[in-house]
Structure 1
């Protein structure tokens, strides 16, 4: 196993089979976030943290759109099963410790988004000799850059005063989400011969 994508082709591009798996995983994760942000958005914004939901919805949609266009796709029969397991992992779990349903949904989304943006660093898989002008390489770097920006908003919300009474519950949920996302990401990488550190 290697710690990087490859071996690269003669144009220093990532092999299409690896592109397909990586992009499918990222589209599943960011697509789930986009869908859930869309369903969580209220008709009118009445709390400061709700304005961030709107911005994050559009950012997640942009990531999915970018990956769909930048990836060199090839048929992959294993994706059907894998996507089903990924999609199940993104589903919201009830949070009994937070009685306000809207706030609980926002916590679910913020912890999932935090785990996805902090735990998945796709550009770190690129070898230094990867073609910097390749759309897939540029997309992975762009996603990592955007993830860093989005992470700041999630941290502000999760550490905000609205959640102060639920700090222990939020910390436990965040830990579980990180462990789940890391496990899925490592399994995805292992299936294409990448050893995640």
Structure 2
């Protein structure tokens, strides 16, 4: 097992089996975030943080669309049971102790999104010799760039004045989500020869 994608094929492209597994996981995670952002926000925006979270709906949907087209898909029977565990992990988890239901739900979603964008770094798995003109490689690098921007927005929200009195609960939820997402990502890639357990 390696900590990177590969061995690469003769064109220095990531093997389709690894592309399929990584893309399926990413589509599941970012698709769940897009759905939850869409349904969490009210029809009328009343706070500055809602404006930023609204923009994230479209960025998450763009990541899903990009992966659907850039991936060289092959059958992967393990996905039939893996996707069920992933989708369960993405279920909404409003932060307990926050009396405002909208804020509690948005905070729970922000901790999940922060973990997805911080713990899943697919471009970091690309070997230096990976073909930079390959659509899958370009997609992962684009996702890495977008993740950085999205992470800044989630961090700003989680440190916002509205959540100052709930700091301990936020930090605890964030730590739990990071551990959970990191474990799922590592398990997903283990089946296709990539070992992230040392991270």
- TM-score normalized with structure 2 length: 0.97
Q: Residue 95 of structure 1: CA displacement?
A: 2.7
CA distance in 2, matches of 1:21, 1:69: 15
CA distance in 1, matches of 2:126, 2:31: 23
Please name the residue that 1:105 is paired with.
Answer: 105
Q: How does 1:117-196 map to 2 (within 5 A)?
A: 117-196=117-196
CA distance in 2, matches of 1:41, 1:93: 15
Q: CA RMSD in A?
A: 0.8
Unaligned regions of 5+ residues in structure 1, if any? none
CA distance in 2, matches of 1:38, 1:12: 38
Q: How does 1:87-98 map to 2 (within 5 A)?
A: 87-98=87-98
Please name the residue that 2:27 is paired with.
Answer: 27
- Structure 1 segments, 4+ long, off by >2 Å, are 93-96
Q: Deviations over 1:48-101 (max 9, x none)?
A: 110011110000000000000000000111101000000000001243211211
Q: Deviations over 1:128-158 (max 9, x none)?
A: 1110000000000000010001100001000
Please name the residue that 2:17 is paired with.
Answer: 17
SS of 1:103's equivalent in the other structure is: helix
Q: Residue 109 of structure 1: CA displacement?
A: 1.0
